[in-house]
Structure formats: C-alpha cells, structure tokens
Amino acid sequence: MNKLKAAFCMVLALLLACAGLYFFIFAPDYSSDWLLSWGERAESRGDKGRAAYFYEQSLALNPYGSQARLRLTALLRSQYKNTRAEELLREGISLQPSNTSFYTELSGLLVEQGRLAEAVESLDGAGSGLSGLRIGALRPAVQASPHAGAYSRPIEFAIETEPGVTYYYTLDGSLPDAESAVYSSPIPLAGGAEYHIRVIALSAGRMPSRLCEYVYDLTACQPSAAAGAVSQPRLHVCPYCGRSFTS
C-alpha cells in the first residue's frame, strides 16, 4: 500500500513538473501573467523587493507585457531608481512604439529630473501616427506674437498664456530647461540685435509642448530709435530778410 502511494505521488509530481514546464516553455504568456499577479499581490502587501522580482521575471518571459513593465517602472521610480526605470521605458518604446503610456511615463520621468528638452524629444519620437496624435492632444500649445521676421521698430514678444501652464524660454537660442526664465509678461526687444527665442510650455500634468522657436531680426532698428529718442527741430535765420524758421 505504501509503495502504491509513493508511486502515485511520484506520478503526480511528474505531471505537475511537466505542466509547469509546458506553461513556462510553450505558454509563456500564461506564466508571465501569473508572475505579474504574484507581483501585484506582493506589492499590495508592501513587499516591494519581492514585487520587483516577480515583475522582472514576468518581463523576462514576455518582454511585450506592458502592464508588468509599467508596474515595475512605477515601483522603481518610487524607490528613486530612475536609471533602471528609464531603461525599461525606452526598451518598451523600442518594442511597442504604438504604446502611448511608455512615451508619457518616460516624459514624466525626464521632467522630474529637470531634463525638459529630452522630455520634448521623447514625445516627439511618437511620430505622426495614431500614438503621436493621442499624445499631441495631451500636450499644451504655444501661441506667440508677433510673427517671426525682420522689424525696423522695437517690438514686444508676447505669449498667449493658459491657466496651469508654465512657459520656459531663452533669448539666445539655447534649449530651455527647468532652470530657464519663466514667462510672466510681454518681453520688450530692443533694436540693434537679433533674437532667437525658444519656448517650451509645461502643463500642470507635467506634459511638455513641442519646442517652439521664433527669430526676430531688429538689426535695422537703431538702438537710439528703440530708446525713444526724438530729434529736435533746427532753427534757421534767413540772411536776406532776417526772418527765422524751423526744419
């Protein structure tokens, strides 16, 4: 009787081992989903280390598992492991370029680090397809006046602002970042110079706009005229009749 039980247990163990091998080798999607669910349970219990392990193993079986990738990325960001989180998001974009979540998460991560221009570049990488259109609808727009070009008089550069949006700008053509000047009122542009203005708007949801550029050539506008100098009338006296007049 004992031998029969032992044989039964061995057969059962063999069947379970074969089933495990089948799922892990021939049905990795099911296995990765199981590991994902184990990671979620571990995370709900506050065991971040174990949760990260399960998420990593789930991705190892199925690199296209977007849920495991996003879960792991959020977990790493909460632990300030931003380098690994950035690697995962960039890898996700390369594998699934139509997944908008990877673009927006990467942009948010870069913005948190003050890498504003890189965040813009990451969103621009979505292209003009469906994912690009979806992301474009989330990004703030920049409306500025006057139109770029050459002017023979002083002008003021003005941005049509929106509530909750921050506008970072530079006047020398450099890329704006989190340390750049913040627009608050129209900027007077004096004559005798050329201005290469670049602007990036950042929404309350930390989504950056596209990089906007405006070039103004005011070299034909003399600084004295820009300063508001007014020429005084000249007095002349006629040598024949002695009358005076101005010109």
Write out pLDDT tens, residues 153-195: 999 999 999 999 999 999 999 999 999 999 999 999 998 899 9
Q: What is the pLDDT of residue 75?
A: 96
Residue with tokens 């031998």: 3
Q: What is the pLDDT of residue 191?
A: 85
For the chain, which domains are there? 20-138 (1.25.40.10), 144-226 (2.60.40)
Query: How much is the pTM?
Result: 0.75
* Token pair recorded at residue 202: 């950042």
The CA distance from 40 to 168, in Å, is 39
Write out pLDDT tens, residues 115-155: 999 999 999 999 888 889 999 999 999 999 999 999 999 99
Asked if residues 96 and 77 have their Cβ atoms less than 8 Å apart, the reply is no
Residue 212 pLDDT grade (very low, low, confident, very high; cuts 50, 70, 90): very high
The alpha helices in 113-201, defined as continuous H runs, are: 116-124, 130-138
